[in-house]
Amino acid sequence: MDALIEINHVTHYYNTADESVIAALDDVSLKVFPGEFVAVIGHNGSGKSTLAKHINALLLPDKGSVTVAGLDTKSPENLWEIRRSAGMVFQNPDNQLVATSVEEDVAFGPENLGLPASEIRSRVDESLKRVDMYSYREQSPHTLSGGQKQRVAIAGVIAMRPEIIVFDEPTAMLDPVGRAEVMQTIGRLNREEGLTAVLITHYMDEAVEADRVIVMEQGKIVMDDHPKKVFSQVAELRRLHLDIPQVTELAIQLQSAGLNIPSSILTVEEMADALCQ
Ligand code: ADP
Ligand code: MG
């Protein structure tokens, strides 16, 4: 199978205020395959957002190359097709919602594609249903909760019929209810509709839900493995100043208190099973 996203030895430099240069990405290579759900974790400043912006050509590599659905991000003629096929959802939904009603907001992208009005209408309705926000379609976005706003932002992206959505800390500004709503939406789009999802997060309980976890440190990928494998490396994660999932932490404590419990527990369900045995 061909990779949907192919990041090939990419280095990205920024000029800093004091006129030095930093490599925010330092020879990074990564392939993401169709239908995968990949989480990206790493300390602040490790290069996660810079990586995300390379996936939809908001940034271009100083060295190496990025292809999305086989299209090189460096070719200007590919720009629109790359932005359509790899959508992005950012941290602050208020920066993404611009219109006076929910449905106008979702229509914004399809309108820019120059689609006929009937096609725009059907895409808007379908997208809002897919994120469970159809009944709010005539409301003003500012009357919505954070989680609802973020779901409208996701609807705006799926109205473009993307193959990939890159989520850059989409739950960072949400309360626990909003976080759960957005995570359910992402999980459903991935599992039931085959959407490829790249989720940048600092919540380990969110990363656990992915098929694969990428760990970044100082512009490099330092781990790339199944959540079970990544979160079993407790000492290494601590060295990288990353948390481990709360239930995993609990499992380790119970283990050191003498209980016969595996330390590979990642979810509340697994913990319940282990305790019942
Ligand atoms: P993360 O998303 O993991 O927090 P970023 O990709 O935002 O990391 O940043 C990686 C590094 O690049 C950090 O050291 C950050 O300070 C620096 N950086 C990010 N954006 C810019 C910019 N526009 N100009 C200069 N330096 C930047
Ligand atoms: Mg970031």
Residue 25: nearest ligand to its CA? 1
Residue 18: nearest ligand to its CA? 1
pLDDT computed for residue 264 by the predictor: 83
Please identify, by atom number, the ligand 1 atom nearest to the C-alpha of residue 25: 10
Residue 216: nearest ligand to its CA? 1
Residue 277 confidence (pLDDT) above 90: no
Parallel, antiparallel, or unpaired for β 196-200 and 164-168? parallel
Radius of gyration of the chain (CA): 20
Closest residue CA from atom 12 of ligand 1: 24
Please identify, by atom number, the ligand 1 atom nearest to the C-alpha of residue 42: 3
What's the whole-model pTM score? 0.95
Distance from the first to the final alpha carbon of the chain: 41
253 CA from centroid of ligand 2 (Å): 31
In the chain, % of residues over pLDDT 90 = 85
Contact of 70 with 2, CB cutoff 8 Å:
yes
Contact of 49 with 25, CB cutoff 8 Å:
no
pLDDT computed for residue 213 by the predictor: 98
201 band by pLDDT with thresholds 50, 70 and 90: very high
Contact of 243 with 204, CB cutoff 8 Å:
yes
Residues 153-170: what's their mean pLDDT? 97
Probe ligand 1: pick from 15, 49, 50, max atoms within 8 Å of CB? 50
Probe ligand 1: pick from 18, 25, 28, 49, max atoms within 8 Å of CB? 49
Q: Tell me the pLDDT of the chain averaged across its residues.
A: 95
In the chain, % of residues over pLDDT 70 = 100
48 CA from centroid of ligand 2 (Å): 5
149 CA from centroid of ligand 1 (Å): 26
263 band by pLDDT with thresholds 50, 70 and 90: confident
Span 48-75, pLDDT tens digits: 999 999 999 999 999 999 999 999 999 9
